Amino acid sequence: MEPETWNLEPDEDLWAGRAFEPHRLFERAAPLEIEIGSGKAGFLVAAARANPAHDFLGLERALSYYRICRERVARSGLANVRVLRADGRLFLESLPAGLVRAFHVYFPDPWPKKKQTKRRLLDAVALEAISARLEREGTLRIATDHPSYGRSIQLSLGSVESLERLDWEALPPPPPTNYELKYAAQGRPIWRFLLRRR
């Protein structure tokens, strides 16, 4: 057992096998946006503050980052943002079809070594699962600085007929993540995808 998993708080267990009911978590019915891999919650808190009529849920698997997210969400004092410790791919299975207004996946772990690529979140299967959970005309935004991952995502999207590719600027841009600010300052090219459910 890893030292960081000792003495877990009740909310720090990985989400597993439970149906997700947003109205219970947020205590209201509102359009739901989900960020898979919230890191340090920069996007999550900024987006929730800018869109009080929407509910925002962050998913973070890594315990250390989950704790940072939880603290920053609590400090924000916003009623429309929550964070869960969850594996994004497994959490998708707990969501009913057509539930989510928007998904956000920014700078997911690229697993750059050839033998690791099977661990990447965004393949054709995951993209189909995300699409199925979107409302009609719901959106998916993806950003990565990793060229190999960007090309892989582009290729996978070609087989997901339910998602229509739009120009990134077709909708108001999302608040930047910590990684986006860092990589932009370094001058790294960023692959961006905006998809809409047909």
Q: Which of 11, 109, 145, 167 is catalytic?
A: 109
| DSSP-derived 3-state class of residue 55 | strand
Indicate if 123 belongs to the active site: no
d(CA 8, CA 153): 35
Positive or negative torsion for Cα 122, 126, 132, 133: negative
Q: Which residues are paired to 165 by β-bridges?
A: 195
In angstroms, the Cα distances linking 133 to 1, 116, 118, 178, 197 are: 34, 27, 23, 27, 10
The H or E element containing residue 4 is none
Give the catalytic positions in this structure: 109
